[in-house]
Amino acid sequence: MTIPDILMVICVLCIWSLLLVNIALIIAGYFYYMRLEQEKPPELLGEAPFVSIMVPAHNEGKVIVKTVESLLALDYPHDLYEIIVINDNSSDNSSSLLGQLQEKYEGRNLIIINTDNITGGKGKSNALNIGFTRSRGELIAIYDADNTPERTALRYLVAEIVNDSKLGAVIGKFRTRNRDENLLTRFINIETLSFQWMAQAGRWKLFKLCTIPGTNFIMRRHIIEAIGGWDTKAIAEDTEISFRIYMMGYRIKFQPKSVTWEQEPQTLKVWFKQRTRWAKGNIYVIVKNIPLLFRPEARRIRFDILYFLAIYFLLVTSLLTSDLLLVLHALGYVHTTISGLSFYLWMLAITLFVAGTFVTLITEKGEMRPSNLGIILLMYVSYCQLWMLVAANGLYQYIKDVIFKREAKWYKTERF
Amino acid sequence: MSRWTGVKLWLLFALCLCLPAGVLAPVPAAAQEEAKPANVLLIYDSLALNTPAAGNVEALQRLLLSFGATVRTIGSDAYKPGMAAEFQKLITLCNTEDLCDAIAHETENYTGDWLHIGANPPEVIRGKLALQTETAARQSLKLSVGGLSEEHVFVHHLSFIAKGDGETFGRITSSDGAVDAPFGITAGGSAYVPYFEPGNLSEMALAYALRTWLGTEAPAQSYLLIRGITPFIDLDRLETLSKQLYDAGIPFLVSVSPLFNNTDYPAMKRYMAALQTVQSYNGSVLVNVPAPTSAGQEASILKEQLDGFLNHLADAGIAPLGMTGEVKRAQEQAGREAGFAFSGTTILFPNGAGTGLIPDQPEAVLPFASSPYSLKADALLQLSRGGKVWPAFPVELAVTLDWLDSEAKQEEVVQSITGSWLPFADFKSGMHSLSSSSHKAESLQGALLLDGKPADLQDQLAPAEEALQVKQPVQEESFRLLFSVQSRILIVLIVTTLMLFAVFLAVGYRLYKRKYYKSGGSL
């Protein structure tokens, strides 16, 4: 038995353990889906509360008008919600577009906050904190500037949170608006759907756990006040807020009937930068919250911390190590004597991936297409492997930031 | 377990370690007792580096070892008064005229046998040989001894015997007639040789002088030795050469390089097969001890490695009869015991380029039971002789032939050897033996024995290529059980999950149709 042997065994155990966890999440998520199908959409009982919708925007001229108009068209009582657009140090024509919108919808609660490079330009968390100071709703909803929520989206979220006092936040579902643009957006569409069913529905079903996705969610005002707003250092503020909500004893629920459509990156470069930011941000939050593993009041989120730890550290390290060992073995630099997995087993595992992903896909309209099977298979050999690079790059960037004590930098996703 | 039991176990363990060392005890020690070799002190004044005489100290030491003498070699600086008295015989070698007086002065009280080589013979020798010497400069000489001669030997300075009283050997004559003197002279244990440079006939002439001076009477044989056999040469050509020599009736020796690693590789198997063929064509195998490395080499490791190779040879049916190696290896006790301890038969070669003699040897170098003097074939073949027949040589000769990379050159050399009339003897006719930890090879009166049984001299068929392929060792796969269990668990889990997914797909399909398909069948 050699050191590479032992490393290989550890890697294989990590990889397969996580695979099994994800299988469990898919199954649980699917059961949740079947139960929801039999239920009616949540209804708002009693008096509707006032809601502040915040939309942080930085150079979003290409998409902001459509987003604000779709928010204005929500079927929630118009006098009971306000839209606060934080035009955060934009250098494009966002300001004038938003001004025109304000004039056009003069009677509506549409607030535009324009910041400059002194007050703003410091990332999404900072923008949200600015917007929050101007908000007056007892519930705060957040939408990204590239979103087109369905008319019922906000109502369903409000209905869920109002009907259950244990809920600190409710999250909806997001779909890919530009899914048919190219192969990358098709991959992203499949990823977002399967991610929601695996990571959100499954975790909600099994552990009553969810993570705020960054858009299309609602939360109680007093929670934000209690936690002192958004952490401006965190570039994955959603995961950070999620942990805080659970620490306060609340839950976050996933309501997939509340749907928003968002625009996803159309080029690999933009996608890579955006996902690296997510990965790095999540690593920041995980590392910061590792001590919570040992605190009793954080028992609810132990699974989440361990899950993220496993994904960003164990899985990435294991995949990279095992790949490196395989390459070195092939080149003759390293000799491992462990018996590898049989071809048969690998084929079964790939079939499982394709079938599992397809199962989650057919919950959505227009996705039950045979071509999707081919795309999932293609995704396995391309997109999934790219994710490994993203996670590794995120980890590398994070370590670099820690070593050189650099401040986290917000990357603005390019719009198309 | 008591402490005493532990000690006993350690003793037993130590005994086990000692046993192989006993098996491989140096043979020369035993030979020394039987032959009672002459005990010689060799004092030199200079190694004469970068002069034509360079290497003559080393050649002289090799000659003495070939005559079976025990030799201690020291520089004149290291000589301490009275040291010579501990030796039966003394040789002083003067390469620099200025320094010769110092040696002569230091040893003037010596009463034993004394051979002086070079200029300025000491008064003691002058007296005993009634010697008168003269000098000449820039001379083209003709050397002749024992029916052999060599012309056009150019010297800058020459001291020669003008007059002396004793048995003389050979002659030195100059082309202009200024010099016409015996090569050497000896009488009553005293001897004088004024000129000795390796690489020409003076090497052979000195051997004649030493033979008389040392009182050696045994007839000397000559053997053909092919050097530089490694697994990386053209082994087919080696087999062809063996056959050519066999057909020409020339018995021969090969000095083979040992292989210490990758002995299960095809190259090693082909090597063994080729050496087996060599043996079948009346070739005798000697194993070459690698030259000492500049970084030093652990003697015990070398001994172990050589032992392994010797065992490999024996396992392949090859009976090695001795060792070869550079003389420097024989000058170090550790190297000698590590490299030459397996056999009493050792042929020493001149040191390779970049390595020189160990200037002052702290102890005497013991002779080997059999150690023919190595002389390059081209040096011997350039000598002239009276008729076709070669005269009897003064010392056992190993006429060496380096392995040639060019087939054409090899043909040329083989032709010159086969047409040379050199009387090559069969090495197996003499008594030689070699013992490794597992095997013993020996020869006697032409018979070759391996572990007491006649060695197989039939040429084995070359092994098939398939047989030569490396068989990867069947390595025990670690974690076999873990992976086997894991695979089973995963297969069960995956298949179960796939079945569940199939149910989900069926349910999902119905839900999808009910939810999204309109009554007409479109979305």
What pLDDT score was predicted for residue A288? Answer: 81
pLDDT (tens digit per residue) in B497-513? 888 888 988 888 888 88
Average pLDDT of span A232-253: 80
Structure tokens at A415: 């719009």
- The band of B279, judged by pLDDT with boundaries at 50, 70 and 90, is very high
Binding-face residues of A in 29-48 toward B, CB within 8 A: 30, 34, 37
Task: Give tens-digit pLDDT for A155-193.
Answer: 999 999 999 999 999 999 888 888 888 989 999 888 888
Comparing B441 with B10, which gets the higher pLDDT?
B441
Beta strands A167-176 and A251-262: pairing type? Answer: parallel
Which of A126, A116, A220, A213 has its CA nearest to residue A168?
A: A220
Does the beta-carbon distance from A365 to B516 stay under 8 Å? yes
Q: Which DSSP string do the residues of A85-104 spell out, in sequence order?
A: EEEES--STHHHHHHHHHHH
Alpha-carbon A126 to chain mean position: 19
* pLDDT beyond 60 at B7: no
- Asked, colleague to colleague, whether B35-214 and B220-353+394-467 share their fold, the answer is no
Other C-beta atoms within 10 Å of A397: how many? 18
**Direct distance between the N- and C-terminal alpha carbons of chain B, in angstroms, rounded to an integer:** 87
Interface contacts (A, B; CB < 8 Å) = 82
Mean per-residue pLDDT over chain B, rounded? 82
* Tokens at B433, concatenated: 């033996």
| Cβ within 8 Å of B, A 312-351 | 337-339, 341-342, 344-345, 348-349, 351
A366 interfaces chain B, CB cutoff of 8 Å = yes
Cβ within 8 Å, pair B501-A349: no
For residue B388, the number of C-alpha atoms closer than 13 Å in the C-beta half-sphere is 5
- List Cα–Cα distances, B9 to A38, B12, B13, B17, B19, in angstroms: 81, 5, 6, 12, 15
B58-68 per-position pLDDT tens digit: 899 999 999 99
pLDDT at residue number B369: 87
Please tell me which residue of chain A has the smallest CA distance to B522: A366
Lookup: tokens for A227: 């936690």
Q: What is the CATH number of domain B220-353+394-467?
A: 3.20.20
Q: Which two tokens stand for residue B254?
A: 């090969």
Domain extents in chain A: 1-416
Q: Which residue has the tokens 């989650």?
A: A360
Q: Are A157 and A72 in contact (CB under 8 A)?
A: no
What are the chain A neighbours of B494 within 8 Å (beta carbons)?
A: 345, 348-349, 351-352
- CATH superfamily for B35-214 is Class I glutamine amidotransferase (GATase) domain (3.40.50.880)
- Rounded to whole angstroms, the Cα distance separating B270 from B255 reads 17
Instruction: Tell me how far apart the alpha carbons of residues B202 and B504 are, in angstroms, rounded to a whole number.
Output: 102
The distance of B233 to chain A (nearest Cα, Å) reads 27
Pick from B477, B487, B494: which is nearest to A352 by CB?
A: B494
| Calculated CA dihedral for residues A60, A64, A65, A71, nearest 10 degrees | -170
Phi and psi, residue A169, nearest 5° = -155, 155
Asked whether the ipTM of the predicted complex exceeds the cut of 0.90, the reply is no
Can you list the pairs that B508-511 forms with residues at least 24 positions away whose Cβ atoms lie under 8 Å? B508/A30, B508/A359, B508/A362, B508/A363, B508/A368, B509/A362, B509/A368, B511/A34, B511/A37, B511/A363
Amino acid at A60: E
Question: What are the tens digits of pLDDT across the range A114-130?
Answer: 988 787 777 888 899 99
Whether A206 contacts chain B with CB within 8 A: no
More confident residue, A196 or A147: A147
Rounded Cα distance between B179 and B432, Å, is: 45
Report the mean per-residue pLDDT for chain A: 84
Closest alpha carbon within chain B to A369: B509
Distance CA A59, CA A53 (A): 19
pLDDT in tens, B391-434: 889 999 999 999 988 889 888 888 898 888 899 999 998 899 99
Return the structure tokens found at B300: 């015990």
**pLDDT tens digits, one per residue of B176-211:** 888 999 999 999 899 999 999 998 999 999 999 999
Q: Rounded to an integer, what distance in angstroms lies between the CA atom of residue B82 and that of residue B86?
A: 7
Q: In the predicted model, is pLDDT for residue A337 greater than 70?
A: no
- A-proximal residues of B, 460-499, CB under 8 Å: 475-480, 482-484, 486-487, 490-491, 493-495, 497-498
Return phi, psi of residue B478, to 5°: -80, 160
Q: What is the 3-state secondary structure (H, E, C) of A232-269?
A: CCCCCHHHHHHHHHHHCCCEEEEEEEEEEEECCCCCHH
Q: Give DSSP secondary structure letters for B105-123.
A: HHTTT--SEEEEEESS--H
Cα–Cα distance for residue pair A201/B116, rounded to 1 Å: 106
Which one of A93-97, A378-382, A383-387 scores highest in mean pLDDT?
A93-97
Among B478, B487, B500, whose Cβ lies nearest the Cβ of A342?
Answer: B487
- Domain borders along chain B are 35-214, 220-353+394-467
Task: Tell the CATH topology of A1-416.
Answer: Spore Coat Polysaccharide Biosynthesis Protein SpsA; Chain A (3.90.550)
